[in-house]
Amino acid sequence: MGGAETAGDTRYQELFNGVDVSLWEEDFSAVTTALDALRASGVRDLRAWLAENPGFVLHAAEQVRVVDVNAATVRLLEAPSREALVGVLSRVFVPETARAFQAELLLLWEGGTRLELETVLQTLKGRRINVVLTLTRPSKERGDRVFITMTDVTARKASQTALEESEARFRNMADHAPVMMWVTDPTGRCLYLSRSWYEFTGQTEEVGLGFGWLEAVHPDDAKPSADVFLAANVRRSPFRLDYRLRRKDGEYRWAIDSASPRFGPGGEFLGYIGSVIDITDRKHAEQERERLLAGMDEAIRLRDEFLAVASHELKTPLTPLNLKLQTLARAAQERRGPELLERLPSDLEVMQRQVKRLSALVGELLDVTLISGGQLRLEPEPVDLGALLLEVASRFEGESQRTGTPIHAELDAEVLVGQWDRARLEQAVSNLLSNALKYGVGHTVHLRTGRTEEHVWFSVRDEGIGIPADAVVRIFEKFERAVSERHYGGLGLGLYVTRQNVHAMGGAIDVKSTLGQGATFTVRMPRQAPNASAARERVS
């Protein structure tokens, strides 16, 4: 019998010391007796009693006897031997351990048989370790024995603490960063949005986390943005995208969202960390720069086109003028008097027409220079509008007869007199009649006048090719025309100069046209011209 018990004890010790889990056995006899005494004295609520008598916990701990420990416990608590740990339990106590021991006392008081908790112990070398304790009582009747398993979680605890501290530092940094920060899990769900995100969008955590952040993205951008993000999430690659983000005041602002994948120590994919930056001001600046640059690709194009057209237009009257002069010079040199006299009238007419055309072109260029430089000057004087219209129309009589384009005047019977710059008004009428004869060739040109209480007006209507609807809004700009210069010529400056002259005198010009049915230009002029400074302001 004794031999069997000895063999059993040996086998028990082998198992007890062979496991790699820290095991020990404690004798709670004295503690059980103390608790029974408290119960007998009328204590019913041990938790409340301990709050009033905190010294009892350490006193009770000193009465616990460590009966046995295994080799793993010796190693864990850095003891020189098993015997160094057997005996008093309190030598491994620190303040945090007292709170755990109080939980043991409540377990015994309430008759429980098992308890698991995390606490801190002190090794015999003075090092603090974090442990998870599992306390087991064989039965309520054997309350004087408690068996304990102990797992060292110091490294895990340190790692967790470091992680929590790292996350706390990250959140603190992210919440105070000048950009919006976010973090996702491997599935793409947002785990964290910085405070600046909520302040910008007005969202709450309940709304923004997960995929709720997409609700703040412009409806037209939400799906494309989600597609880019989820595709990158599958590839686990960095990405960058632009979208419009709704600010809490309802305004959509352009934002750039960029992110990089996160990986754990073992290379496992953890999700993304990214930032969102409001780039609206930069976007507007870029768009403005692009607009200015485009206006400059455009200005250069118009300049080059204008130079080419101007060169062509200036050469056009010079060529026949030069030919006529050469012919006349040759006839004079060859002393062909009769022939020279015979052709001189027609040649002079051609040359005068070309000189007039050349003069008009140069005049337009000079006018544009004056207008662009703010140097347009007005010299108002009393002008009879009807008389001026007839006088200018008479200058086109030769061209009118030559091209079969009669000018029909329907003028107000009353005298229409106002204070205007005669030269500028003549130029406006001349430009409009010139256009009407050019684009309405072969059809009647109608010239009319009228008045209101404060204004007088005149109109020039042709029955020619008309103006395309898309060209009506731009034909008064520099170098613009409704048709190709190859077919009708001109610098594209006549209507621009006309409008500037009319505006300088306080007037207005408009046009109505149907393609293929001609065009009507109407000029309205105040009876009193503005002063010089007001005129310059109108032109600029």
User: CATH number for the domain including 28?
Assistant: 3.30.450.20
Q: How confident is the model at residue 24 (pLDDT cuts 50, 70, 90)?
A: confident
Q: Is the pLDDT score of 143 beyond 60?
A: no
- How far is Cα of residue 392 from the mean position of the Cα atoms in its chain? 57
The more confident residue out of 414 and 459 is 459
CA 469 – CA 447 distance, rounded (Å): 23
Give tens-digit pLDDT for 222-261. 999 999 999 999 999 999 999 999 999 999 999 999 999 9
- Is residue 223 in a domain? yes
Half-sphere exposure (CA, 13 Å, Cβ side) for 129? 20
User: Do 480 and 358 have their domain in common?
Assistant: no
Edge to edge, the sheet with strand 455-462 lists 407-410, 445-451, 455-462, 519-526, 508-513
Residue percentage of the chain with pLDDT more than 70: 81
**Closest by Cα among 476, 471, 441, 446 to 459:** 446
- Are 31 and 128 part of one and the same domain? yes
pLDDT digits (tens, 9 = 90+) for 402-419: 999 999 999 887 878 889
36 and 133 both lie in a single domain: yes
**Which pair of structure tokens corresponds to residue 170?**
């990250």
Q: Rounded to the nearest 5°, which phi and psi values hold at 169?
A: -65, -40
What is the number of structural domains in the chain? 4
Is the pLDDT assigned to residue 512 strictly greater than 80? yes
Q: Mean pLDDT check: name the lowest of 77-81, 387-391, 485-489.
A: 485-489
Q: How confident is the model at residue 487 (pLDDT cuts 50, 70, 90)?
A: very low
- pLDDT-wise least confident of 121-135, 282-296, 349-363: 349-363
Summarised one tens digit per residue, pLDDT across range 57-81 is: 988 988 889 988 888 889 999 999 9
pLDDT computed for residue 523 by the predictor: 96
Q: Is 305 contained in some domain?
A: yes
57 occurs within a structural domain: yes
pLDDT digits (tens, 9 = 90+) for 104-113: 899 889 888 8
Domain membership of residue 503 (yes or no) is: yes
Both 398 and 428 in one domain: the answer is yes
- Phi first, then psi: give them for residue 45, nearest 5 degrees: -110, 95
Confidence at residue 366, expressed as pLDDT on a 0 to 100 scale? 63
> Where residue 3 falls among pLDDT bands split at 50, 70, 90?
very low
Q: Is the pLDDT of residue 13 over 80?
A: no
Banded model confidence at residue 2, pLDDT cuts 50, 70, 90: very low
pLDDT of residue 91: 83
Q: Which residues contact 310 (CB under 8 A, 6 or more apart)?
A: 361, 365, 491
Based on the fold, state whether residues 388 and 352 are members of the same structural domain: no
- Provide the pLDDT confidence category of residue 4 given band limits of 50, 70 and 90: very low
User: Per-residue pLDDT tens for 188-215?
Assistant: 999 999 999 999 999 999 999 999 999 9
**Residue 4 falls inside a structural domain:** no
Asked whether residue 435 is assigned to any structural domain, the reply reads: yes
- The DSSP line for 445-480 is EEEEEEE-SSEEEEEEEE-SS---GGGTTTTTSTT-
Give the CATH number for residue 299: 1.10.287
Give the domain-ending residue among 334, 367, 400: 367
Once rounded to an integer, what is the mean pLDDT over residues 453-458? 88
Residues 298 and 361 in one domain: yes
Which CATH number does the domain housing residue 443 bear?
3.30.565.10
Same domain, 97 and 129: yes
Q: What is the reported pLDDT for 139?
A: 62
Domain limit, last residue, from 256, 278, 300: 278
Are residue 209 and residue 239 in the same domain, yes or no? yes
HSE-CB for 490 with a 13 A CA cutoff: 22
User: Any alpha helices (H) in 373-412, and if so which ranges?
Assistant: 385-395, 397-403
Between residues 234 and 424, which one has the greater pLDDT? 234
The domain of 98 spans 11-152
Size of the chain, expressed as the number of residues it contains: 540
At 90 the pLDDT is 79
**Whether residue 144 sits in one domain with residue 15:** yes
Q: What is the pLDDT of residue 1?
A: 38
Range of weakest confidence among 246-260, 261-275, 367-381: 367-381
In-domain check, residue 3: no
Mind listing the pLDDT tens digit for each residue in 513-526? 988 899 999 999 99
Residue 520: in which H helix or E strand, if any? strand 519-526
With bands split at pLDDT 50, 70 and 90, how would you rate the model's confidence at 367?
low
Residue 153, pLDDT score: 86
The verdict on residue 1 lying in a domain is no
Same-domain pairing of 115 and 59? yes
What's the CA gap between 240 and 277, in Å, rounded?
Answer: 11
Whether residue 272 is found in the same domain as residue 293: no
pLDDT digits (tens, 9 = 90+) for 297-312: 767 766 665 555 555 5
Mean pLDDT of 162-176: 71
Q: Domain boundary residue among 310, 337, 367?
A: 367
Q: What is the pLDDT, as a whole number, of residue 308?
A: 56
Mean pLDDT of the residues in the chain:
82
310 and 363 share a domain? yes
Q: How many CB atoms within 10 Å of residue 12? A: 10
